[in-house]
Amino acid sequence: MRVLVQRVSSAHVSVDGQIVGAIEPEGQGLLALVGVTHTDDSATAQRMAEKLWQLRILDDQLSAADVGAPILVVSQFTLYADTAKGRRPSWNAAAPGPVAEPLVDEFAEALRRLGATVATGRFGAHMQVELVNDGPVTVLLEL
């Protein structure tokens, strides 16, 4: 599992012109773009949620857990693009939808169990993500 995390002052995701998930933190929040690979499982989703929740990338080296920062979770299989050969990325390392969707859902639910306020995109949909990256701060998490 790969999670590209951006510290944001606001973020929302739309499908067909309708906002399906949004966070408007009083301070800072996190946008988590989540990619799933073939070897990921429920334990991976749980560990990654814990890592993100405790990640100290907010002001004053605080974590989302420290300040209750909201998190917008958006699936993004393109995080597993292989661009080593040619001009067309290969998506072979990305798990197929029937495998990836429940794991993205488990990741979001694990964050909720940890105490996070979580909004989500819509798996498999063509989404438009708008955000204000604060810093900018962008970090790639992998296990």
Residues taking part in catalysis: 76-78
Q: Detail the DSSP E strand segments found in the chain.
A: 2-15, 18-23, 29-35, 71-75, 118-120, 127-142
The candidate with the shortest Cα–Cα distance to 34, out of 74, 94, 67, is 74
What distance in Å separates the CA atoms of residue 130 and residue 64, rounded to the nearest whole number?
20
Question: Is the separation of the CB atoms in 34 and 142 below 8 Å?
Answer: no
